[in-house]
Structure 1
């Protein structure tokens, strides 16, 4: 039985008044035990137009995630998997150190809360480091970069010194990116004194597959539903991928 059929049947049960009797009441103690299990679980969805083989995913994903201890993996939906970690450190690493890819397709991980089911989760964002180029020196400080980064996504971190200043050819800002929207290629910035606007150029570290037509992560150009760019040059391309990044990086399969 596929997930759509399960949802249809659940909805049919909800409409039937005969199913209101005999509700099973779960004690607070048992519910608490179940909620504790959530601390070891994540739900991951592979954003791909192709069906992902369960055995292939179970074999390769723990290595991709660099898990130090075993990870139990089961299918819970279309290209959606429940990962049960034997280590809270491994789980935290997966949540904090993305983005993650499976054969270059993005894998979005979510931590279920309360009575959420896998079908309730929305896989619409991912954490990512963004390199910001062409920034005036006076803007290379964490407070200003936080303002700039907020135009890309929710700011999670900024690479800066103890004094809050950034040094180098570019600044690095880590954001929670809304993957339902096209990738931003740049951001225009100017001072209150209405100085000449400066274009901050954006490059993305470990950027998964994305569409060169619409700029949205999660599908290739050949699978794009948008026909607005037919016969035109691509608005997006590999130039959005950062060529280098700092720190330890996970392997990309």
Structure 2
């Protein structure tokens, strides 16, 4: 026992500073690994409810249809790692949002090279919004950028939608901070002193709280609602913030119907007409031969 005590006393005065400060290099052949999350996205569902993981995986895989498949792994409650096997699949999902499952919005992000998935802040989401009741003279991209920065942070301007003759609203893409309430409207004053109010509608918007405007919960879990026991809580947000689906399945659409910005319509119809004339000529020739 005394021998071990003497050894411990000796080690107490051992100085390893020189060893720690010596230069150290790895042997040849040892290289720093590239980002192992290069083909991954990390995402968090904005909900107080439990996520049915199995159903979510199946649903998103069916919606996204990644050509090389996808692996989805839960790394923390409501936080998931989405591993792709083809960069085009990853980019399509990353740029095609917002996504949701069971009406719970999904905040997704790429993973920086030096970071771990759980360290990535998941607070920002890109969404398309519709700005209604905007006078025709204010449909420019310059106006869109200013409005985008008011409702969130401007990302993109939908030229195809906003240049239509019968345009009903301006469509812009913004980045929003999910820690802040959804903005609903804005009063605009013209240079001549007259004013008008524009309304904002969010495309593909899932659950959110009608009492405080946050997407992280519904009224049932809202602290404002709980503190007031649901009494006298004015709901200043509502389902009217959701934009209706833009694409409605049409039946028996005529081939002669043309979209305003369909530049390929004439070429496509030219082929159709040419083929039609060819069939008529063949039919006419057959009739003549019979005669």
TM-score computed with the length of structure 2 as normaliser = 0.69
Aligned residues: 222
Compared CA separation, residues 42 and 30, structure 1 to 2 (3 A):
farther
Structure 1 unaligned regions, length at least 5: 1-20, 249-253
Compared CA separation, residues 29 and 243, structure 1 to 2 (3 A):
farther
Aligned to 1:16: none
- Helix, strand or coil at the partner of 2:112: coil
8 Å contact kept, 2:132–2:199: yes
Post-superposition Cα deviations, 1:110-166, rounded to whole Å, max 9, x if no partner, equal 11102212221221111111001111111111111111111011211111259x846
Alpha-carbon distance in structure 1 between the residues aligned to 2:248 and 2:43:
24
8 Å contact kept, 1:142–1:165: no
Q: Which protein is richer in helix relative to its size?
A: 2
Higher RCO (CA 8 Å, separation ≥ 6 residues): 1
Aligned to 1:195: 193
Which of 1 and 2 has greater Rg?
A: 2
Aligned to 2:209: 211
Compared CA separation, residues 239 and 25, structure 1 to 2 (3 A):
farther
1:175 correspondence with 2:189: no
Bigger drift between 61-70 and 107-116 goes to 61-70
Alpha-carbon distance in structure 1 between the residues aligned to 2:118 and 2:195:
45
Aligned to 1:8: none
Compared CA separation, residues 43 and 30, structure 1 to 2 (3 A):
farther
Compared CA separation, residues 139 and 29, structure 1 to 2 (3 A):
farther
Compared CA separation, residues 62 and 30, structure 1 to 2 (3 A):
farther
